[in-house]
A and B are shown apart, each in its own frame.
Chain A
Amino acid sequence: GENVEQHPSTLSVQEGDSAVIKCTYSDSASNYFPWYKQELGKGPQLIIDIRSNVGEKKDQRIAVTLNKTAKHFSLHITETQPEDSAVYFCAALGGWDSNYQLIWGAGTKLIIKP
């Protein structure tokens, strides 16, 4: 079945700098890749997603890139702000052998230093 690895587990960046979180997946049949943000004391919330028919998607300061050949996708946050501090999860929608379930990465704790 699908396996998703996420790196790094913790990322500390200076406010205003960029942050990049990377995920790799194993199932070439996967075609949907969302990113979720979990703020302290809350449930995860979708911030951006990408489907396999595109290579990049942007939404203001957030972008996701997908390389289907290499089976990896990345979250890019530019001009980071204190409110970007959170745990970020990537996921991939598995194929039939994963019962078409979302398979999650282990999460990245992003710390924005003032």
Chain B
Amino acid sequence: EAQVTQNPRYLITVTGKKLTVTCSQNMNHEYMSWYRQDPGLGLRQIYYSMNVEVTDKGDVPEGYKVSRKEKRNFPLILESPSPNQTSLYFCASTSMGGLAKNIQYFGAGTRLSVL
């Protein structure tokens, strides 16, 4: 089954404690991205990657890091989380070609609370 898997689904942490949210896709997609969703603000892109070892900033990259060492994985790293990073996070992957070009497949989300 084609899917994007995020872990953990829920996370409560404290300010300054480094954390990583993992994302994995099994569709051999070149493109992956991270979004945060906040009430009234829709989906805002944090970072994206168009292929292995190629990453770029989205609209709200401050306070986040990513890496793309393998095609299937795209972890989101918060080196020193702060309360304003409390949000719902989504990972997505997309094919860059073929009939499914531009269609984004989303994970189930990670709800993060930073105290």
Interface residues of A (CB under 8 A from B): 6, 9, 32, 34, 36, 41-46, 49, 89, 93, 99, 101-102, 104-107
Q: Are A104 and B43 touching (Cβ within 8 A)?
A: yes
Contact of B41 with A by CB under 8 A: yes
Q: Are A46 and B108 touching (Cβ within 8 A)?
A: no
B67 CB to closest chain A CB (Å) equals 19
In Å, the complex CA distance between A55 and B114 comes to 45
Contact of B113 with A by CB under 8 A: no
Contact of B61 with A by CB under 8 A: no
Q: Would you mind naming 30 contact pairs between A and B with Cβ atoms under 8 Å apart?
A: A6-B42, A9-B40, A34-B103, A34-B104, A36-B104, A41-B109, A42-B108, A43-B90, A43-B92, A43-B106, A43-B109, A44-B43, A44-B104, A44-B106, A45-B106, A46-B103, A46-B104, A49-B102, A49-B103, A89-B42, A89-B43, A93-B102, A99-B56, A101-B45, A101-B58, A102-B102, A104-B42, A106-B40, A106-B41, A106-B42
In Å, the complex CA distance between A18 and B68 comes to 44
Q: Are A43 and B107 touching (Cβ within 8 A)?
A: yes
In Å, the complex CA distance between A82 and B107 comes to 24
Interface mask (B35-72 → A, CB under 8 Å = 1, otherwise 0): 00000111111001000000010100000000000000
Interface mask (B94-115 → A, CB under 8 Å = 1, otherwise 0): 0000000011101111000000
